[in-house]
Amino acid sequence: MRFAPRAGLAALTITAALLAGCGNGDKPDTAAPAGTAAANGVADLEAAAILEKAKAALKAAKSFHVKGAVSDSGEVTKLDLKVAGADVAGTIDMGGATLEMLSVGGARYIRPNEAFWTMIDSSGATAKLMKQAVGDKWIKPTANDASLGSFFFGASDIDEMLTPGGALSKGEAKPVEGVPAIGLVDGSDAKTVLYVATSGEPYPIKMERPAPEGLTFSEFNQTFPEIKAPAAAEVVDQASLKK
């Protein structure tokens, strides 16, 4: 299984270069603690069928929270994202280079910190320019700028997020995050184990990897008030930066 926020970094770099050139209060529905819900039957299924049940459950949930860290070519990326369908709010941290990202109703916004711009341009010129032009506001890419698409899509594409690199096998059954769960071991990397709840809804609960990597899934079906469009005064259009 994988979750690759860096997959869209190359595309995001293109956007950065273009820029430089110029709650309803409901309680969360989480998997029930051990002993409080009937077994859901997934523990008796084959590994591949369990994964399909987990994907279906996560897709059926109105929302979820994914948090943790992944690595790509030895570089660790921390993420903290709240997902509601195609809408996303949260942060991705690549060694201190932090990107706040927000997607609401098809409109996308980004708010990089200074270290992020310095990662794009080590001279510091871009960071200085963006600080003067944008400050702490959100940047809204132009409507025809598709370079951010894969970056945001990776946060909400459940099939991509939970696709194993090899054949799956069933692993250990144990409580995970207080929930009875069954492990799914990725044949391409035995160090990657996805734990799926075996009571209540068969949600994915945790993607276990050697520290500091690993992801947890929680807050299923909660309304996230932070997933909302920012006020117009808090937004700078990409088009205005290129004038």
> Which CATH number covers residue 92?
2.50.20.20
Measured in degrees and rounded to the nearest 5, phi and psi for residue 191 equal -80, -10
Question: What pTM was estimated for this model as a whole?
Answer: 0.82
pLDDT of residue 152: 66
CA atoms of 98 and 232, how far apart (whole Å): 23
Nearest to 176 by CA among 164, 193, 162: 193
Nearest to 218 by CA among 89, 61, 102: 61
Output the CA–CA distances (angstroms, integers) from residue 78 to 3, 109, 139, 156, 188, in the order listed.
Answer: 11, 19, 22, 16, 23
pLDDT of residue 9: 41
Strand partners, 183: 195
Region of 30 (left: φ > 0; alpha: ψ -120 to 50; beta: rest) is beta
| CB of 61 closer than 8 Å to CB of 156 | no
pLDDT of residue 94: 87
pLDDT of residue 40: 95
Q: Which residue has the tokens 């591949």?
A: 48
Nearest to 196 by CA among 178, 186, 183, 208: 183
pLDDT of residue 225: 96
Strand partners, 216: 67, 206
pLDDT of residue 8: 41
pLDDT of residue 161: 80
pLDDT of residue 155: 61
pLDDT tens track, the chain, 243 positions: 554 444 344 334 434 444 444 333 344 455 545 445 789 999 999 999 999 999 999 999 999 999 998 887 778 888 899 999 889 999 989 899 998 999 999 888 989 899 988 988 889 888 888 888 888 999 887 776 655 555 565 566 788 788 888 899 999 999 999 999 999 998 888 888 999 999 999 999 999 999 898 999 999 999 999 999 999 999 998 778 765
Count of domains for the chain: 1
State the residue range of the domain holding 52: 5-241
- The side-by-side arrangement of strands in the sheet containing 75-84 is 168-176, 179-186, 189-197, 204-208, 214-218, 64-72, 75-84, 87-94, 97-104, 107-112, 138-140, 235-237
Q: Which residue has the tokens 């709010």?
A: 89
